[in-house]
Amino acid sequence: MPPEPYKKYTVVIAAYNEESTLAELLRRVQAVTVPGMAQEIVVVDDGSTDRTAEILRKIPGVTTLFHEKNRGKGGALKTGIAHATGDILILQDADLEYNPEDFVSLVRPILEGRAELVLGSRFFYRGPRFLTKNGDPFLSHYIGNKLIIAITNLLYGQKISDYEGCYKAFTRALAQKVNVGTDGFDFDNELVCKSLRHGYRITEVPIQYQPRLYSEGKKICWKDGFHMLWTILKWRFLPLPK
């Protein structure tokens, strides 16, 4: 069966207090060309208290949505996905940790008919960094990532190297079928686990990654890891919502 004729991709961005990176990030996203596909950008300002909303209103060519109160990364992504019109959706953070030039690699397995969900793996290009020159520790993040990867692979019968990277590309049909409920950082885990339960094909591609420091605005913390683990466990056994 030939691949679907995908014509447009939507980049969905959740932004919360990202005044220092948002404009540059959107410039980089808009500079990317995926051959044969039109681009749509949907940004959700998740109740920011800095100049994020002000900056966003000044950037042309972007669909902008605003939450009056902060709902969490998952809540913002759900709003963005609901307004996306692309045949393929790509999740993008509002910081500069990830390189939008990887969009071409992310959508290729879908365009070739090999997968409905593509994960970007941070561990193909470089090894883990446990301590930065400014003192931010990443050993706990690495251990948490490895634990999440091991448990997900064990429970869902996979051999994926990275579930927690920001970059994920998936078909519009998958987005309409998989009902993600969480508003938190475990959005990605629920998306992946439910997609696997529904029988969608999943693969991964290497991506570039430059982790930012907590002093630069990194938000995820160890508490979010417990929510992720609980999400992985419960959606292996609970009935899927209809």
pLDDT along the chain (242 residues), means of 10: 81 97 98 98 98 97 98 97 98 96 98 97 68 54 83 97 94 97 96 98 94 54 77 96 79
Name, in order, each residue with C-beta under 8 angstroms of 115's C-beta and a sequence gap of 6 or more: 109, 200, 201, 202, 203
DSSP string, 38-73: EEEEEEEEES-SSSHHHHHHT-TT-EEEEESS---H
pLDDT computed for residue 217 by the predictor: 47
As a whole-number percent, the residues of the chain with pLDDT over 70 amount to: 87
For tokens 């939507």, name the residue.
10
In a domain? residue 140: yes
In a domain? residue 106: yes
pLDDT computed for residue 179 by the predictor: 93
In a domain? residue 124: yes
Range of the domain at 13: 8-237
Number of domains the chain contains: 1
The answer to whether 106 touches 93, Cβ cutoff 8 Å, is: no
* 185: DSSP letter: T
In a domain? residue 242: no
Three-state DSSP at 183 gives coil
pLDDT computed for residue 136 by the predictor: 45
In a domain? residue 2: no
Question: How far apart are the C-alpha atoms of 5 and 41, rounded to whole Å?
Answer: 20
- Number of Cα atoms under 13 Å in the Cβ half of residue 3: 16
Give the CA distances from residue 118 to residues 112, 191, 192, in Å, rounded to whole numbers and listed in that order: 12, 12, 10
CATH number for position 53? 3.90.550.10
Q: Is the pTM value of this prediction over 0.75?
A: yes
The answer to whether 39 touches 9, Cβ cutoff 8 Å, is: yes
In a domain? residue 108: yes
In a domain? residue 3: no
Give the tokens for residue 227: 């929510």
Please name the helix (run of DSSP H) or strand (run of DSSP E) that holds residue 153, with its range, or none: helix 139-156
